[in-house]
């Protein structure tokens, strides 16, 4: 998935060692996404979301925001017609939330999250001919910009901030933009990688441009520490003692909680803490490319001859103890159902490990009866149904 749509011939290992969070690079002709998206397909996509476009489509014209009006009158002008008119007047549009609304970008973003952790989002940028996009700025996240239609001229400026927080993303000053360090033109299929904090600007010269920007926000030690401290609040009474400003003992209670926090953090195993954090964050991810309805009604018809395939939109981590095997499965819960962000898991007998290892390595559909391992065919069918029910497998 990532090789086909982002990295091309460069290996993930080379990319990580050479460029990830280090320096920008252009991967020429690395992506096949231009075969899947063009302006006609974008037209259809916007048409299918008429009435809700104001929720995730935002415009900019010479630095001024252009907002799409909500549509309440079915006989009045459409939101799509508003976008068309604004494009004719030179407005650039950002079309967000593609990871939630399109299968291919949902799959790409989930694969990035599987490989790098953190969170990934995708958005289109549609720019009219001879117009610039958004003003020179830097983002707080890594960016993979993939050119889909037309060409776009990019200018890169010296990296001013390393590992910026969200609140630090901003437009850059004219002084910061006075000495660019690189400039180039992206053609369809080219991929630009920008580390967080890399100032940049882009403009069209001839013809309209459509590119997709995939943003990746990595997790930080601060995220893991906050998770560990928050987890303490569910088991440590000292963290939940009320502090009444009218009383003189607030400092004593706070000192007790701080001492307990410091002691607990010093005792943490970093690798185990990070694994617990990942399991928890994965469990409450929003679902992408969910096939829960079709799988639900396929369960009763599953047989030993049925074909199953691994659901690549799930991030799955396996752990094994003396007697049990646990699968930690992404988007199996949500924050409302699981406010403590505890890590739900599917527990299975350890004896099914060979079958599970084969399933987690599936790249093509497989008949249930052909799963290798110690289980008989009837037991393989029971296991497959349980995995379909929990979203690990999709029934074909």
Tell me the residue range of the domain where 335 lies.
292-395
Residue at 285 is within a domain: no
pLDDT band at 388 (very low <50, low <70, confident <90, very high): very high
Tell me the residue length of the chain. Answer: 396
Identify whether the C-beta of residue 392 lies closer than 8 Å to the C-beta of residue 359. Answer: yes
β pairing state of 366-367 and 209-217:
unpaired
* Residue 17 and residue 159 share a domain: yes
Rg (CA), the chain: 25
Last residue of some domain: 268, 283, 305? 268
Q: Provide the pLDDT confidence category of residue 133 given band limits of 50, 70 and 90.
A: low
Q: Is residue 346 part of a domain?
A: yes
Residue 146 shares a structural domain with residue 166: yes
Q: Judge if 127 and 52 occupy the same domain.
A: yes
Strand 170-171 relative to strand 209-217: parallel, antiparallel, unpaired?
A: unpaired
Name the nearest CA neighbour of 341 among 231, 193, 233: 231
Beta strands in 96-250 (DSSP E): 119-127, 137-138, 142-149, 152-156, 170-171, 182-186, 191-194, 200-203, 209-217
Q: Are residues 11 and 30 in the same domain?
A: yes
With a cut of 60, say whether residue 337 has pLDDT above it. no
Q: Is the dihedral of CA 52, 54, 55, 56 positive or negative?
A: positive
Same domain for 147 and 76, yes or no, is yes
Q: Is the pTM of this model over 0.85?
A: yes
Between CA 317 and CA 315 the distance in angstroms is 7
Total domains in the fold of the chain = 3
Single out the residue in 180, 197, 217 at which a domain terminates.
217
Rounded to the nearest 5°, which phi and psi values hold at 316? -125, 130
Residues 314 and 356 in one domain: yes
Q: How far apart are CA 104 and CA 329, in angstroms?
A: 21
134 closest CA partner among 143, 300, 258: 143
Task: Judge whether residue 336 has pLDDT over 70.
Answer: no
Return the CATH number at 367: 3.90.930.40
Looking at the structure, do residues 327 and 354 belong to the same domain, yes or no?
Answer: yes
Query: Which residues are 210's β-sheet partners?
Result: 126, 149
Instruction: Write the pLDDT tens digit of every residue in 274-318.
Output: 999 999 999 988 888 888 899 999 999 999 999 999 998 999 999
Is 67 part of any domain?
Answer: yes
On whether the CB atoms of residues 395 and 388 are closer than 8 A, the answer is: yes
154, 185, 217 - which closes a domain: 217
Apex 322 CA angle, 319 and 325, nearest 5: 35
Same domain, 225 and 354: no
Domain assignment present for residue 312? The answer is yes
Together in a domain, 212 and 233 = no
Residues 339, 203 share a domain: no
Tokens in use for 359? 């399933």
Percentage above 70 pLDDT, the chain: 96
Phi (first) and psi of residue 51, to 5 degrees: 100, -20
Q: What does the pLDDT average to over 64-91?
A: 89
Q: Report the 10 Å Cβ neighbour count for 145.
A: 22
More confident residue, 391 or 336: 391
Q: Is 78 within a domain? A: yes
Q: What SS3 class is residue 12?
A: helix
**Are 206 and 249 part of one and the same domain?**
no
Closest of 245, 266, 264 to residue 256, by C-alpha: 264
Q: Do 263 and 334 sit in the same domain of this protein? A: no
pLDDT, residue 72, reads 63
**The token pair that represents 68 in the structure block:** 């799409």
Greatest pairwise CA separation for the chain in angstroms: 72
Q: Is residue 24 part of a domain?
A: yes
375, 331 contact by CB (below 8 A): no
Question: pLDDT tier at 342 (50, 70, 90 boundaries)?
Answer: low
- Cα–Cα dist 69/73, whole Å: 11
CATH number at residue 202: 2.60.120.650
Chain position carrying tokens 């399933």: 359
3 state SS of 249: coil
């Amino acid at each position: 998935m990532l090789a086909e749509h982002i990295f091309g011939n460069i290996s993930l290992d080379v990319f990580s060692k050479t460029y990830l969070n280090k320096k920008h690079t252009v991967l020429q002709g690395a992506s096949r996404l231009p075969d899947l998206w063009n302006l006609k397909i974008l037209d259809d996509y916007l048409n299918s979301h008429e009435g809700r476009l104001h929720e995730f489509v935002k415009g900019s014209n010479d630095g001024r925001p252009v907002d799409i009006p909500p549509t309440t009158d079915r006989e009045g002008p459409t939101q799509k017609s508003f976008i068309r008119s604004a494009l004719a007047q030179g407005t650039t549009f950002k079309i967000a939330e593609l990871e939630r609304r399109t299968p291919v970008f949902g799959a790409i973003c989930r694969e990035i999250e599987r490989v790098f952790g953190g969170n990934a989002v995708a958005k289109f940028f549609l720019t009219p001919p001879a117009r610039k996009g958004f003003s020179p700025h830097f983002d707080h996240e890594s960016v993979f910009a993939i050119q889909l239609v037309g060409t776009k001229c990019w200018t890169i400026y010296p990296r001013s901030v390393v590992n910026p927080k969200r609140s630090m993303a901003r437009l850059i000053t004219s002084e910061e933009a006075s000495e660019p360090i690189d400039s180039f033109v992206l053609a369809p299929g080219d991929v630009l990688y920008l580390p967080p904090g890399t100032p940049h600007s882009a403009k069209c010269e001839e013809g309209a441009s459509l590119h997709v920007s995939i943003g990746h926000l990595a997790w930080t030690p601060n995220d893991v520490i906050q998770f560990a401290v928050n987890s303490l609040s569910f088991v440590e009474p000292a963290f939940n003692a009320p502090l009444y400003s009218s009383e003189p003992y607030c400092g004593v209670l706070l000192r007790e909680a701080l001492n307990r926090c410091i002691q607990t953090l010093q005792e943490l195993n970093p690798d185990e803490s990070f694994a617990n954090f990942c399991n928890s964050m994965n469990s409450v991810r929003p679902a992408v490319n969910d096939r829960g309805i079709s799988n639900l009604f396929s369960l009763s018809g599953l047989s030993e001859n049925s074909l199953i395939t691994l659901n690549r939109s799930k991030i799955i981590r396996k752990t094994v103890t003396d007697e049990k095997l646990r699968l930690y499965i992404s988007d199996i819960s949500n924050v409302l159902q699981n406010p403590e962000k505890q890590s739900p898991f599917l527990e299975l007998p350890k004896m099914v490990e060979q079958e599970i290892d084969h399933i987690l390595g599936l790249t093509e559909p497989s008949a249930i009866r052909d799963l290798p391992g110690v289980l008989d065919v009837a037991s393989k069918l029971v296991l497959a149904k349980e995995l379909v029910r929990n979203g690990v497998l999709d029934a074909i």
